[in-house]
Every structure is written in C-alpha cells, then in structure tokens.
Structure 1
C-alpha cells in the first residue's frame, strides 16, 4: 500500500506525494537509493502506481502530484511557472531525504527532471526521460491544445464514457487506444453533474505556456549524470530527435518500446519496467 505524505513546494504550495516503500524495511531505504516519479501534464502520481510497486522492493519510490495536479494544491495561474515546478521537485528530494535520487519523468515531468538535474547535480544521480521533446513546439501547438480542451464533452456522464471518448472518439486519435482511455480515466473525479478533470484546463494551458516556446537543448548538455531517453515507437518524441538528445547529453542512453505511444508505462508496462530496471541496475546503488 502507498503511504500519503506531504511536501511544501515553492511559495508554500502544498504538494501530495505517495511513498511506495517503507525505508525502515529490509531492502529499501537510503541504502537502495531513492526514485522520484514525476508525471506529465494533466497527470497524477497514481499513473506511476504499477511502476512504483515494481521498484519498491529495491528502492524507496515516491510519486509526486505536481502543483495543480491530482491531490496537490491549485496555485494561482501566475504560479504555474517552470521555475516553480523545478523547485517543487527539489523540495521533494530534500524534504523526503531521497537524494541522491533517480528522477523518472514522463513528458512535462521529464523536462522538470532534466532541468533539476542540470541545476542541482548534487541531488540527482540518474534521469529517465520518457517521451519528452527538447525542441520548441511553438504558438501553433499551444493553440491546438486550447482547441482540444474545448472539444472535451464535459461533463462526462460516466467513467465508461471517459474511457470511450479518450480511447475512441477524441479527434486527436488516429486509431483506438484503450490504454489512453485508462490513462485519462485516472484524472477524472465525480462531481455533482458528472465526471470532470481533477485539474483546471486553464491552469494546464498556462503551465504548458511556460515551456512550449523555448527549446531545452542547452539544459540537456548540463545534465552530467547518466540519462536514459525512452520513447514509444508511436509516441510524440521522434527517433531522430530522441537520438540527438542522447548525443548532446554528456552520458546519454537510448531505449525504444515497441507497440507503445506517448504513455509506454500504460501501453506496455512490462517492457517499460524492463527498460527501467536495466537502467537502474546499471546505475547501481549510491
């Protein structure tokens, strides 16, 4: 069972996290090293449940609900900055005594991970980047996201409707994707009029605004610890860009997961866990 813990983030924002291992138990704790799991935009710590359980026998695994997500506090729009997200992860490592830790990030969480590793190398001994681009995405991408949020048929009548829409009816889909439906079902909650997201779409857009216009290659060059770039073959991170990211990283490594898209830990959890285990095994203990 996961244990809920509290972290005080940048500006005093209350953050919720879940620890999937008891550091007092044999085989876990500081001797085995800490792993901080950072979800992507619109995600939540629960998205890492399977991954964290797979790690908890050997590592102290903690999944963080980032600001504005899951059960963490909803800060003002102006507090949804890149700096704040990085400072929140830094606070989690320090307050939970996880460092030197491995940071495992999906999408936005991966960007947070490598920015923190560049900024505080003393806290980070390894990074896993899952399906996050280093290139600038630009204004057109942001406008597409705003249109996409407006296309959501809120409120959903049932959780089954959530799964079906994101797996079959979402206009972004090229083909049915049940794993995607399950992924989005995790970020919905039942309200008085139906099922709605745990997050505020405007807050998500403001959060995304803080990184889409900038490229992040220079920060990659500053990450000195071993870093694994993972992509699903049908994900948003293309092979050429992923391999260029590995090239510019001082200690970059690369892995592909077949039959997986943007969320390989949902699409192919066994293959994802295998890739992660191999990387962590090669890192050894701190």
Structure 2
C-alpha cells in the first residue's frame, strides 16, 4: 500500500511524496489509515533519488523498509510529479531546503536519510546543516570531489544523443539498457530505470523532466568539492558504492575516513544504479546498519 502526500517546499514549490506501508508487520488489523497512523510511531526514513530520478525508483526499497520503519520517498523539484518551475531555483540551497521542509512538515525527525547520487549530496548537506533533524545517513554512489566543467559538457552532449521521442517503452528500455553510447555493457536494469521516468505524449515517449533543468541543477554542484560539509556530518553514515559505479573505491574509503562515524559497503554486480542493479545486495548492506542506528 502507498499513499500520496503533498508537501510545500522552499519558495512554495509543491512536492509530491509517497508513504509506503505494505505490509508493516505487527501493525493493527484495521484499515489503511490505522496502519499509517501506527507506522508514524516507527523510526522514519526519507529516501532521496538522484538527478533524473523519481520517488517510484525507491518502491522496492521502501516496501522492505516499511516492515519496521515509516518510509517516505519524495519527488524532488523538477522531477516526477513535483513542480518544475521554469525559473527554478535548482541550486543546492533549494534542494536541501525542500528536504528539510518534508522532514518538518511530516514530523519525521530524527530521520534516517537515504540518498542516491545527487540525493545523497542533498542528504549529507542537510545532515551537516541541521544535525537535529537527522538520525543517520546512507550515501549511495555520490562523489565528494569536484567533477569539473568537462563532466558538465559531456552530460550536455549526452542529452543530445537521446532519440526522443521514443516510439514505445520497449524502445526506451532497449536504448538505455543496450544502445546508449555511454553504456559499457548491456544492463537491463538501467533500461527499466529510465522507462520509469518517461511519459507518453502525442508523438511518443518523452522524459518527465526537462533536460535543460537537469543541467541547471547539476551545474550548481559539479564544479565544487563537498568534503568540508561531509566532515561536518556527526551522525552515523554508511557510504555505499557499486563495484562498477561512478564512486571509486579509494574516494569512497576516503569519504568514510573523513566522516566522523563513517562505515563502508561495496556491492558486487552493481553499477551506479545500485538499488536497481542489485536489490538483494543493497538490502544486505543496509539492514545491519539500519538496525544498529535504530538501537542506539
């Protein structure tokens, strides 16, 4: 079971969030409202997707989290069913303030933040700025080092290679899972990931986001390193990387060293989309950490 919750983010931006509770073990036998009310007394988890992602990408994770926790996933501004204001802003302060608003308006504090890629950066920046709101942190495949101008140019060029509109969802899955020039080897899970962020229009399937807005959002963090804020995170933090992901082992281990309470996990047979590529390995990495921080 899942229910949508509307939240007001920074500057009045409307954000769409989803609460998962299916089936939370040990909860009352009553209706959905009773179960969600009981779940509210459990430790809270907020899931933050990466650039181009959406809350539904967390569905499988949120469902097993909901067995013991109140699990919330949110479409961040510019993504999914949340507002996509032409003027933005799409900077770091806006994304962090949005996550802060979700936590405060839904009464989630102290919350466990689980972030993937850009969502992980948002999570640790919020944990550094508002330690009172955050119980623990999971950082999934996000670098603390600056990526640089070349990286931004490559992304802009990559967007131009997309054969939009796609005629069918099968074409979406095939292109992102097999034909994308950025792909080193076929990965079915990647095709499924991108199929989730497409919507049908009059002439075919197009992304639910604006690629121009995605580039604007990325522009605000790729040129800077984020080690200083990482070092300010005082809560327990787990750094997770896919063996074939974008976060290298040496950098991940340095991030763990910089974090005052850092831990490390590596997922074999996974690339950047760790929770899609290896859902079982992802769960095995997270569950011991989550059990530990809830007991503390």
Please give the TM-score of this superposition, normalised by the length of structure 2. Answer: 0.94
Identify which range, 10-19 or 74-83, moves more after superposition.
74-83
What 5-or-longer segments of structure 2 have no aligned partner? Answer: 22-31
| Structure-1 residue corresponding to 2:73 | 63
SS at 2:5's partner residue? strand
In 1, Cα distance between the equivalents of 2:207 and 2:69? 31
What 5-or-longer segments of structure 1 have no aligned partner? Answer: none
2:115·2:122 contact (CA, 8 Å) conserved in 1? yes
Structure 1 residues 23 and 279: CA distance shift in structure 2, 3 A: farther
SS at 2:137's partner residue? strand
| Structure-2 residue corresponding to 1:206 | 216
| Structure-2 residue corresponding to 1:15 | 15
In 1, Cα distance between the equivalents of 2:172 and 2:292? 40
| Structure-2 residue corresponding to 1:115 | 125
| Structure-2 residue corresponding to 1:2 | 2
| Structure-1 residue corresponding to 2:64 | 54
In 1, Cα distance between the equivalents of 2:76 and 2:241? 22
| Structure-1 residue corresponding to 2:47 | 37
Cα shift at 1:274: 1.6
User: What per-residue deviation string (whole Å, max 9, x for no partner) do you get for residues 11-57 of structure 1?
Assistant: 00000000003784399534421000000000000000000001101
Cα shift at 1:77: 4.0
1:227·1:252 contact (CA, 8 Å) conserved in 2? yes
RMSD: 1.4
Cα shift at 1:232: 0.4
- 2:82 aligned residue (72, 81, 84): 72
- 2:110 aligned residue (74, 93, 100): 100
* 2:246 paired with 1:258: no
Structure 1 residues 26 and 37: CA distance shift in structure 2, 3 A: closer
1:172-211 superposed matches below 5 A: 172-211=182-221
Identify which range, 17-26 or 220-229, moves more after superposition.
17-26
In 2, Cα distance between the equivalents of 1:181 and 1:11? 34
SS at 1:231's partner residue? strand
* 2:141 paired with 1:131: yes
Cα shift at 1:127: 0.4
Identify which range, 276-285 or 206-215, moves more after superposition.
276-285
1:68·1:74 contact (CA, 8 Å) conserved in 2? yes
In 2, Cα distance between the equivalents of 1:103 and 1:143? 30
User: What per-residue deviation string (whole Å, max 9, x for no partner) do you get for residues 96-120 of structure 1?
Assistant: 0011000000000000000000000
SS at 1:154's partner residue? coil
2:43·2:294 contact (CA, 8 Å) conserved in 1? no
2:242·2:274 contact (CA, 8 Å) conserved in 1? yes
| Structure-2 residue corresponding to 1:91 | 101
2:113·2:123 contact (CA, 8 Å) conserved in 1? yes
SS at 1:211's partner residue? coil
